[in-house]
């Protein structure tokens, strides 16, 4: 079942979406100087003459950036160019001190890759990539609310970026979100990017055009810039599809523009009309040599490649998880790692149930991240093994989980201190159940006369008298035995 889309209202139309993603690489230093790569400090403290574009300085390429580009290229089935070049892209912006950005032009490091995404009906679709290129990030302009002033923070200048450009193969807002989620998990699995959208480490510009079905030429596109959540991107695409179709239906023409998503009013708004590539006067940067990549280097990087999301998915299925379970884990690398650490300590099938129900439920309710959660894989593995060895029952296990989550205490200490051990000895339970039967003769008579619902009453009494610590299975067995005597 496909999720509803505004396109359902316009069966004659189709949408073509191409996405440019900027991936901030988490190398130790910036792309063309030795300044530390990281922007969380005081403004303009994380800078040097190179990233500030002083006259006479020379950029030196960070080899790690090339390695990361090749890694992402290989993970997306791209061709790695044996030779590629850096180019200057000229534009004036206060946060770009050189008045040009160093990027790659006609010949980028990776070309013609592709990414496979999963559709809602579980079919797969290939989204082709035009190119992946390396470039430097610009600084940030900060506009004051208090005074009529603007400020510049250059900490971000020279942060290495990969720009990953797709063909307009994406044909719905749902596919766009799937594509971005898949790409984000790839760069996270490769360990080259945090994937944090709110901090701008993973930014998507979306090009959208609509056309009548069967038309051979693409419609005029509009670009949606820098939207920082998957949900907003989906909403903005839906809005933009309707806006463009309405224009065409009124006999007007769509004008090529860059637009922003206004979340408050839930619509896209004009940012600027689009520059043409010619306006940037690209030419090869004479300060930087050709980037040469030999086969040996590629092979070494290939051999160091970590497991990718789709490979992890297949492995989880082989190890006995359902596609539903595997999908939830794979989409969140921290959760997948959590599962694997827990599963290593306790290979019970119950582990996944506890993670998907108790752990995710707790994290969601208490609005914390997995890494902040006090129930570590070691502690969860322990709780599950105490449950499986009948040391505690399910009821007590949930109580222990909650206490660990609040306090971080050791499960075994909690059980000892609070007396949560399950009463599993038949003798002890037998005494309690005989007593219950003696005390409730009226109900016993009614039960024997055919009122079977009363069985629940006896179970309830037993749990009450064992303070919830009785082994439920044994209680049921014993009740059946004594009530039917
Ligand atoms: Zn620098």
The confidence score (pLDDT) of residue 227 equals 81
pLDDT score of 275: 61
User: Do 400 and 479 share a domain, yes or no?
Assistant: no
Do 379 and 433 lie in one domain? The reply is no
368 and 229 part of one domain: no
More confidently predicted of 478 and 41? 478
Q: How far apart are the CA of 30 and the centre of ligand 1, in A?
A: 7
Q: Which residue, 387, 418, 449, sits at the end of a domain?
A: 418
349 and 223 in a single domain? The answer is: no
Do the Cβ atoms of 361 and 398 come closer than 8 Å? no
**144 C-alpha to ligand 1 centroid (Å):** 26
Same domain, 137 and 74: yes
Residue written as token pair 């907003």? 232
Å from CA of 87 to ligand 1 middle: 19
Beta bridge partners of 236: none
3-class SS letters over 247-289: HHHCCCCCCCEEEEEECCCCEEEEEEECCCHHHHCCEECCCCC
- Ligand 1 mean position, distance from CA 75 (Å): 30
Residues 351 and 226 occupy one common structural domain: no
- 364 CA from centroid of ligand 1 (Å): 40
Both 71 and 34 in one domain: the answer is: yes
Q: Domain of 438: which CATH number?
A: 1.10.10.410
Interval 186-222: pLDDT, tens: 999 999 999 988 888 999 999 999 998 888 888 888 8
* Distance from Cα 72 to the centre of ligand 1, integer Å: 25
Find how far residue 79's CA is from the centre of its chain. 26
Ligand 1 centroid to residue 289 C-alpha, Å = 19
- Share of residues in the chain with pLDDT > 70 (%): 98
Query: How far away, in angstroms, is 284 Cα from ligand 1 center?
Result: 21
How far does the centroid of ligand 1 lie from the alpha carbon of residue 415, in Å?
A: 56
Ligand 1 centre to CA of 5 (Å) is 46
Report the half-sphere exposure of 111 (CA within 13 A, side-chain side): 9
Is the pLDDT at 226 greater than 80, yes or no?
A: no
User: Cα of 36 to ligand 1 centre, how many Å?
Assistant: 8
- Number of domains the chain contains: 3
Q: Do residues 185 and 123 share a domain?
A: yes
Give 2 Cα–ligand 1 centroid separation in angstroms. 48
pLDDT tens per residue across span 138-170: 999 888 888 889 999 999 999 999 999 999 999
Torsion of CA 415, 420, 425, 429, to 10 degrees: 180
Query: Does residue 277 carry a pLDDT above 80?
Result: no
pLDDT tens digits for range 107-119? 999 999 999 998 8
Determine the Cα–Cα distance for residues 155 and 261; give it in Å rounded to an integer.
26
pLDDT for position 266: 81
pLDDT confidence bin for 462, thresholds 50/70/90: confident
- Residue 1 located in a structural domain: no
Position 17 confidence tier, pLDDT thresholds 50, 70, 90: very high
- 302 within a domain of the structure (yes/no): no
In the chain, what is the greatest distance between 2 CA atoms, to the nearest angstrom?
101
Residues recorded for the chain: 485
Picking from 414, 464, 402, the residue whose alpha carbon sits closest to that of residue 436 is 464
Please say which residue of 368, 390, 418 terminates a domain: 418
pLDDT, tens digit (0-9, with 9 covering 90-100), for 384-399: 998 888 788 888 889 8
| Same domain as 194, residue 286 | yes
Q: Ligand 1 centroid vs 272 CA: distance in angstroms?
A: 31
* pTM reported for the whole predicted model: 0.81
Verify that 32 and 80 share a domain, yes or no: yes
Contacts of 159 (CB under 8 A, 6+ apart): 24, 25, 30, 31, 37, 39, 136, 137
Q: Domain ends where: 297, 328, 350?
A: 297
From ligand 1's centre to the CA of 34, what distance in Å? Answer: 6
Q: How far is the CA of 414 from the centre of ligand 1 (A)?
A: 53
Give residue 227's domain range: 6-297
């Amino acid at each position: 079942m496909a999720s509803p889309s505004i396109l359902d209202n316009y069966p004659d139309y189709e949408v073509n979406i191409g996405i440019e993603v900027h991936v901030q690489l988490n190398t130790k230093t910036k792309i063309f100087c030795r300044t530390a790569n990281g922007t969380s400090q005081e403004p303009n403290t994380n800078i040097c003459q190179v990233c500030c574009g002083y006259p006479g300085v020379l950029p030196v390429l960070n080899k790690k950036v090339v390695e990361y580009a090749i890694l992402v290229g290989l993970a997306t089935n791209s061709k790695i160019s044996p030779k590629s070049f850096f180019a200057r892209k000229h534009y004036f912006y206060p946060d770009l001190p050189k008045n040009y950005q160093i990027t790659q032009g006609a010949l980028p490091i990776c070309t013609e890759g592709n990414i496979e995404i999963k559709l809602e009906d579980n079919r797969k679709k290939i989204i082709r990539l035009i190119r992946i290129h390396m470039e430097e990030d610009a600084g940030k302009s900060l506009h004051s609310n208090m005074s009529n002033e603007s400020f510049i923070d250059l900490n971000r200048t020279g942060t290495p970026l990969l720009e990953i450009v797709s063909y307009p193969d994406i044909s719905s807002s749902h596919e766009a979100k799937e594509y971005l989620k898949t790409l984000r998990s790839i760069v996270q699995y490769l360990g080259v990017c945090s994937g944090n959208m709110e901090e701008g480490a993973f930014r998507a510009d979306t090009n959208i055009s609509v056309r009548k079905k069967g038309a051979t030429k693409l419609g005029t596109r509009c670009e949606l810039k820098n939207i920082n959540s998957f949900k907003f991107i989906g909403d903005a695409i839906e809005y933009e599809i309707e806006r463009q179709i309405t224009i065409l239906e009124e006999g007007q023409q769509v004008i090529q523009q860059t637009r922003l998503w206004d979340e408050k009013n839930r619509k896209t708004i004009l940012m600027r009309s689009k520059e043409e590539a010619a306006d940037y006067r690209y030419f090869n940067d004479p300060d930087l040599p050709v980037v040469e990549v030999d086969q040996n280097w590629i092979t070494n990087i290939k051999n160091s490649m970590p497991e990718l999301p789709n490979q992890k998915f297949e492995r989880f299925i082989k190890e006995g998880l359902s596609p539903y379970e595997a999908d939830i884990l794979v989409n969140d690398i921290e959760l997948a790692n959590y599962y694997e650490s827990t599963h290593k300590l306790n290979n019970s099938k119950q582990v996944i149930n506890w993670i998907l129900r108790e752990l995710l439920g707790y994290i969601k309710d208490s609005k914390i991240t997995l890494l902040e959660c006090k129930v570590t894989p070691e502690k969860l593995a322990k709780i599950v093994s105490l449950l499986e060895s009948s040391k505690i029952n399910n009821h007590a296990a949930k109580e222990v989980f909650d206490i660990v989550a609040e306090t971080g205490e050791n499960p075994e200490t909690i059980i000892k201190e609070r007396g949560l051990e399950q009463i599993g000895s038949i003798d002890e339970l037998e005494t309690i159940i005989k007593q219950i039967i003696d005390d409730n003769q009226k109900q016993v008579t009614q039960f024997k006369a055919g009122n079977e619902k009363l069985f629940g009453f006896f179970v309830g009494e037993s749990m009450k008298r064992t303070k919830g610590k009785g082994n439920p299975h044994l209680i049921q067995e014993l009740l059946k035995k004594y009530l039917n005597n």
